[in-house]
Amino acid sequence: MFRLGDTGAGVAEIRARLAHLGLLRSPDDGVDFDLDVDRAVRTFQQERGLTVDGIVGPATFRRLDEARWQLGDRVLQYTPGHLVAGDDVGELQRRLSQLGFDAGRADGVFGRRTDRALRDFQRSVGAQPDGTCGPETFRAFERLVRTVSGGSAAALRELVADARMRSGVADKVIVLDPASGPGAQTCLEIAQRVEGRLAALGTQVLLTRSAAVGGALDERERADFANRTGAHLVVSLDVDVNPSPAPQGAATFYYGDPRGGVHSLAGRRLAETIQDAVCRETGLLDCRVHPRTWDLLRSTRMPTVRVVLGYLSSPTDAAVLQSAAQRDALAGAIAEAIGQFCSPDASSPHR
């Protein structure tokens, strides 16, 4: 963890990577985490959809590493258990999608779906379908890739998948992910109440954390759990804390690039549906929905949202979260929204 005021070889590496991205105007050999570095880190975090705190922890450092790769800089291939990630992988996914090969959303992670799409592309151009994106594949892209306007093949595929979701909630597997930090017991209680309501409708509900199990899993491990169980949806519940009592309200986050472009269409629809229901039923301030690239949102293969149910540091929000009746209302709103999302006549709320 590096932050303002730190110094050393780790900071020098961070400075070099920020300078390579054009975010630091002084690409020297300095070793100080000064105000210029702090501003550059916050800019990078804002652009990449990370939590903007000026701290270079594991997630931010990993994204700095991913950002230095451009397509053609290295050989890419699928490695189970150690997935390659980077801006070059995202560009590969975009090019495959433009040519009609289903690599999924361009999340910059070289998974099974990208591997299948790459092999299909290699077969189509008469190359050895070995799943290795090296010089021969790069040359094939240069010959064939073209700019596609008027729509996105990946977006169209996601719309089809979204339509298939609208068969009712009874046949679905849903993962609920209660936070393990501040307000952990409140989030767990609300998740259990959501579970009870959905189970009564025939939904299979899985929790990433129970009263008997601590919150030891990190975001990637929880995403892997959801992927392995074949879940249709993931809803993560959290609360926030701020040094000031002024911030308040509920917000919901879905996978997407804040700069525009790639995002989960179904994730956004789910976020909008839940956000509207939560604010309508509880009176919490509507802080709206936002795209982010947090690991849980990025690594799951199904629509995933994180619902922040207010601020424990806000007297107004704390009163809601501490009220048994309001916690029940929150659970009812989330369960109702999930049911609406899966309904055959579901539509996006007008925001």
For residue range 290-331, list pLDDT tens digits in order: 999 999 999 998 999 999 999 999 999 999 999 999 999 999
What's the mean pLDDT in 13-25? 91
β 304-311/250-255 pair status: antiparallel
- Whole-prediction pTM value? 0.82
Concatenating the DSSP letter of every residue in 216-241 gives ---HHHHHHHHHHHT-SEEEEEEEE-
The residue type of 343 is S
The dihedral sign for the CA sequence 175, 179, 185, 190: negative
Q: Which of 150, 180, 205 is the last residue of a domain?
A: 150
CATH number, residue 56: 1.10.101.10
Measure the N-to-C terminal CA separation of the chain; round to a whole number of Å.
38
* Residue-averaged pLDDT of the chain: 89
Cα separations in angstroms, 291 against 94, 139, 156, 326: 19, 34, 19, 27
pLDDT of residue 105: 83
Please check whether residues 195 and 291 belong to one and the same domain: yes
Q: Which of 120, 150, 180 is the last residue of a domain?
A: 150
Cα separations in angstroms, 91 against 110, 131, 145, 160, 212: 11, 16, 11, 23, 43
Please check whether residues 187 and 252 belong to one and the same domain: yes
pLDDT of residue 346: 57
Residue 105: inside a domain: yes
Residue 157: inside a domain: no
Residue 77: inside a domain: no
Please check whether residues 327 and 220 belong to one and the same domain: yes
Please check whether residues 134 and 215 belong to one and the same domain: no
Angle at 270 between CA 266 and CA 271, to 5 degrees: 115
Taking the C-alpha atoms of residue 190 and residue 212, their distance in angstroms, rounded to an integer, is 16
149: its two tokens: 């306007």
What's the mean pLDDT in 265-285? 95
Number of other residues whose CB lies within 10 A of the CB of residue 126: 8
pLDDT in tens, 134-153: 998 988 887 775 544 445 56
pLDDT in tens, 73-110: 999 999 988 899 999 999 999 889 888 898 988 899 99
Please check whether residues 337 and 216 belong to one and the same domain: yes
Taking the C-alpha atoms of residue 309 and residue 186, their distance in angstroms, rounded to an integer, is 10
Any bridge partners for residue 204, and if so which? 173
Please check whether residues 171 and 312 belong to one and the same domain: yes
Q: 30: domain range?
A: 9-67
Please check whether residues 55 and 144 belong to one and the same domain: no
Residue 245: inside a domain: yes
Please check whether residues 133 and 223 belong to one and the same domain: no
Please check whether residues 47 and 106 belong to one and the same domain: no
184: its two tokens: 């952990």
- Structure confidence at residue 350 as a pLDDT band (50, 70, 90): very low
> Would you say residue 212 has pLDDT above 80?
no
Taking the C-alpha atoms of residue 260 and residue 290, their distance in angstroms, rounded to an integer, is 11
Please check whether residues 60 and 205 belong to one and the same domain: no
| DSSP 8-state assignment for residue 348 | P
> H-type helices in the chain, by residue range?
9-20, 35-48, 58-67, 87-98, 112-124, 135-144, 153-165, 184-199, 219-229, 265-282, 295-299, 315-322, 324-341
pLDDT of residue 155: 63
How many independent structural domains does the chain possess?
Answer: 3
pLDDT of residue 148: 45
3-class DSSP assignment, residue 60? helix
The residue type of 297 is L
- Reference 148, options 114, 113, 97; nearest CA is 97
Please check whether residues 36 and 107 belong to one and the same domain: no
> Would you say residue 162 has pLDDT above 50?
yes
Residue 351: inside a domain: no
> Would you say residue 204 has pLDDT above 90?
yes
Please check whether residues 122 and 181 belong to one and the same domain: no
Residue 134: inside a domain: yes
